[in-house]
A and B are shown apart, each in its own frame.
Chain A
C-alpha cells in the first residue's frame, strides 16, 4: 500500500499531569489521510483532538512519533498547512480585508498589492462577505462573520492541508448551516485536503468523506475510521433520506455514547495499530445475503 498524502505514525503525547506524574493523552496513534479527502475527527472533550491538530499544524511537538506530509516530516508551522482556529484568532487591529490580505501577502510574496487585495476580496466574497463589511474590524462583526473571515483567510492561502478546529463551535444552528454550505462549496472547487474537529455528529456526516472516532483519554486511541457512504453533492435536507444516513448516525452515536468509554484506557500494547475501517452501506443490502461485520456492530 502506497503512503497516503498525510501519514501520522506512532504519535504519542505525554503531558505532566500537574502532580509530578505523567498524563499520556494518546499513544501510538496511526492513521493516514489521502489527498483531497475531507476527514472529520470526533471524540469526547479532552481526548486530545486539539493536541493532534496542533501537532499536524506544526505548532506543537509530539512526545514521540512523526507526521509526514507528501513524504516529508512535518517540523514547525508552514504555509502549506492552513489553520482555522477555534476562537477565530483574527488580529483585532486589522480590518477583515487586511486580516485576509496579510496572509495572502505572506504566501505570495511576489504579488503586487493590487493582486493581493483582489485575491483576498475574491475569497471574502466566497464566504458571503462583500461591500463595506470587509473594511470593518473583527470587533464590529458578528460571530458568524468573524468565522467566515477566518475561513476566508485560511482558504485564500490555498494550503495543501486545511486544519479546522471546531470552526463552527460558537455559532447558532442557522449560521452554522450557511457556513457549512459555503465551506463545502469552496472545498468542492479545490483539491484541498481537510482535517476538521467537531462535536456535531450531523455536521460530521454532512461534510466528511471519512470520520475518525477517538476513544476517551487518557491513552486515547483513534479506534475507528467510518466511511461516509453518501454520495456528493450532499444537502442537509436530502442526506437524512439516504438509506445509509441513520445507520451511520446510529453507529456514531453508539460509539460516542458507549464504546468510547468501554475502550477508554485500554492499552493496546506497544504495537502500532491502525483504526478499524468501518463501511456501512445499506443501499442494495437486501440483495446482499452476507451481513458485514460493521453492520453487526451497529445493531448491538
Chain B
C-alpha cells in the first residue's frame, strides 16, 4: 500500500507518524518525572527527567491552543489579550519596519549596484554597520526616539535593511552585460532600462534578500518585544513565563514558528514568481 503513494504522500505519512510518536513520548514522559532514577538516558537528554517545573503534557498545550484559537481577538486589559491581537501587533511592527527598510534599501541598492564609485564609497559603512546585533541599537533608539513602540520598529528596520541592500546591489551589479547591451541598442532611456531590463534581471537576487530580511525581522521582533514590553508575541511569551504558565509559553512558541513559516512561504511564492531560467 505504501509503495503506491507518491514521494510527497509518503513524506506526509512519515511526518504525521513522527508527530504522533513525538507527542506520545512527550505525553508519556510527563508523569514519569518523579521517578528520575528510573529514567533512561535518552529520556533524561530529551528533558524527560527535568525537575518538576510544571512542563505540561501536549494534551494540555493542545487544549490551550484550542481555547486560544477559538477566541484569538479578545481584549481583557493590558495583560490579557488574545493571541491573535498579540501576533497582530508583532506583524504590524515587523511589516512597518520592514517596508521602511525596503523603501530605502532597494532604491539605494540599485544606485550602489549601478555605480562602482557608489559601491566602493558605501562599502565600508555597510561592512561596519551590518554585523551589529540589531538589539544593540535598542538603548540608543530608546534614548533618541523616546518611544518604545517606535524603537522596536526601528530595530526591525535596521536589521532588515542589510540583506536587502546588499542583495539588491549585488544583483544589479551582476546583470549580464549582454542584456544591458540589448537595452542600449534599443535606445532605452535610463529609467526604462532600470525597470524593463535591470529590475527583472536582478529580481530573483533582490527577492532572496527580501526573504532573508523578513526571516531576520521575525526573529528579532520577539527579542525586541521582550525588551520593550507592552504588547506583541514576544512580550506575551515573557509575560506568560513570569506567570509560570508554561502551557501558554509552549503554545506561543509554536505560534511564532507558524507565523514565521507563513511569512517565509509568502516570500517563497514571490521568489518563484520572479524566477527565470537562463
Contacts and interface: CB of A to CB of B under 8 A. Distances in A.
B143 interface: no
B197 interface: yes
Contacts of A137: 276-277
Given A137-B276, A139-B278, A89 B181 contact: yes
Interface in A64-94: 76-79, 81-83, 85, 87, 89, 91-93
A102 interface: yes
Contact of A82 (B185, B188, B200): B185
Interface string B250-278: 00000000000000000000000010111
A139 B200 CA distance: 16
A102 B200 CA distance: 14
B178 interface: yes
Contact of B185 (A59, A91, A92): A59
Contact of A59 (B181, B186, B197): B181
A139 B277 contact: yes
Contact of B178 (A57, A81, A85, A102): A85
Given A85-B178, A87-B178, A139-B277, A93 B185 contact: no
Nearest to B192: A106
A59 B181 CA distance: 7
Nearest to A104: B186
B200 A91 contact: yes
A139 B276 contact: yes
Contact of A57 (B185, B192, B274, B276): B185
What bracket does the count of chain A residues touching chain B fall in?
A: 20 to 34
A85 B187 contact: no
Contacts of B276: 92-93, 137, 139
B278 A85 contact: no
Interface string B176-214: 001101101111100010001100110100000000000
A91 B181 contact: no
A103 interface: yes
A199 interface: no
A254 B274 CA distance: 52
Contacts of B184: 58-59, 76-77
A76 B186 CA distance: 11
Chain B CB count within 10 A is highest, among A76, A91, A103, A139, for A91
A273 interface: no
Interface of A: 57-59, 76-79, 81-83, 85, 87, 89, 91-93, 102-103, 106-107, 137, 139, 157
Give 4 nearest A-B pairs by CB, closest first.
A139-B277, A93-B276, A89-B178, A106-B186
8 contacts: A58-B185, A59-B185, A78-B187, A85-B181, A87-B178, A92-B278, A93-B276, A106-B192
Given A58-B184, A59-B184, 16 more contacts: A59-B181, A77-B181, A77-B184, A77-B185, A78-B185, A79-B185, A79-B186, A79-B187, A91-B182, A91-B201, A92-B276, A93-B203, A93-B274, A103-B186, A137-B276, A139-B276
Interface of B: 178-179, 181-182, 184-188, 192, 196-197, 200-201, 203, 274, 276-278
